[in-house]
Copies of this chain bind each other. A is one copy, B any other.
Amino acid sequence: MLDATTLAETLTIEHVRAAYDRIKGHVRQTPVLRSDYLDELTGAQLFFKCENLQEAGAFKVRGACNAVFGLDDEKARLGVCTHSSGNHALSLSWAAGRRGIPCNVVMPRTAPQAKKDAVRRYGGTITECEPSTSSREAVFAEVQAATGGEFVHPYNDPRVICGQATCSYELLKQVEGLDAVVAPIGGGGMISGTCLTLSNLAPNVEIYAAEPEMADDAARSFKAGHIIADDAPETVADGLKVPLKENTWHFVRNFVTDVPTASEEEIVDAMKITWKHLRVVMEPSSAVPLAVILKNRDRFAGKRVGIVITGGNVDLDRLPWMAV
Q: Which residues of A contact B (CB under 8 A)?
A: 28, 31, 33-37, 52-53, 55, 57, 114, 272, 275-276, 278-282, 312, 316-317, 319, 321-322
Does B272 lie within 8 Å of A316, measured CB to CB? yes
Q: With A and B bound together, what is the CA distance between A35 and B282 in angstroms? A: 16
What residues of B have a CB within 8 angstroms of the CB of A35 in the complex?
A: 55
Chain B residues with CB under 8 Å of A33's CB are: 31, 53
| Least CB distance, A118 to chain B, in whole angstroms | 10
Contacts of A28 in B (CB 8 A): 34
Residue picked from A34, A36, A275, A282, most chain B C-beta under 10 Å: A275
List the B side residues contacting A114 at CB < 8 Å. 276
| Given contact pairs A114-B276, A316-B272, A37 touches B55 in the complex (Cβ within 8 A) | yes
CA distance A145 to B316 in the complex (A): 46
Which residues on the B side are within 8 Å of A275 (C-beta)? 281, 316
Instruction: Give the number of copies in the complex.
Output: 2
Q: List B contacts of A321 (CB < 8 A).
A: 316-317
Q: Which of B53, B281, B322 contacts A281 (CB 8 A)?
A: B281
A319 cross-chain contacts in B, Cβ below 8 A: 316, 319
List of B residues within 8 angstroms of A272 by Cβ: 316
Known: A31-B31, A322-B322. A52 touches B279 (CB 8 A): yes
The 4 nearest A-B residue pairs measured at CB: A279-B312, A279-B281, A31-B31, A52-B279
Contact B280 A279 (CB under 8 A): yes
The distance in angstroms between the C-alpha atoms of A95 and B40, with both chains bound, is 17
Known: A31-B31, A322-B322. A53 touches B317 (CB 8 A): no
**A278-B57 Cα distance, complex, nearest whole Å:** 9
Give CA–CA (A276, B53) in the complex, Å.
11
CB distance from A21 to the nearest CB of B (A): 22
Residues of B near A34 (CB, < 8 A) are 28
Please, which residues of chain B bring their CB within 8 A of the CB of A278? Answer: 53
CA distance A319 to B316 in the complex (A): 9
A145 and B55 alpha carbons, distance in the complex (Å): 52
Q: Check if B53 sits within 8 Å of A36, measured CB to CB.
A: no
Q: Given the complex of chains A and B, what is the CA–CA distance between A35 and B279 in angstroms?
A: 17
25 inter-chain pairs at a CB distance below 8 angstroms, sorted by A residue, are: A28-B34, A31-B31, A31-B33, A33-B53, A35-B55, A36-B55, A37-B55, A52-B279, A114-B276, A272-B316, A275-B281, A275-B316, A276-B316, A279-B280, A279-B281, A279-B282, A279-B312, A280-B280, A280-B281, A281-B281, A316-B319, A316-B321, A317-B321, A317-B322, A319-B319
> How far apart sit A52 and B280, CA to CA, in the bound complex (Å)?
9
**C-alpha spacing A34/B28, complex, angstroms:** 10
What distance in Å separates the Cβ of A297 from its nearest Cβ neighbour in chain B?
20
Give chain B residues whose Cβ lies under 8 Å from the Cβ of A282.
279
- In the bound assembly, the distance between CA atoms of A31 and B114 in angstroms comes to 25
- Closest B residue, CB atoms, query A31: B31
A280 neighbours in B (Cβ, 8 Å): 279-281
Which of A276, A279, A316: most chain B CB closer than 10 A?
Answer: A279
A279 to B280, alpha carbons, bound, how many Å? 6
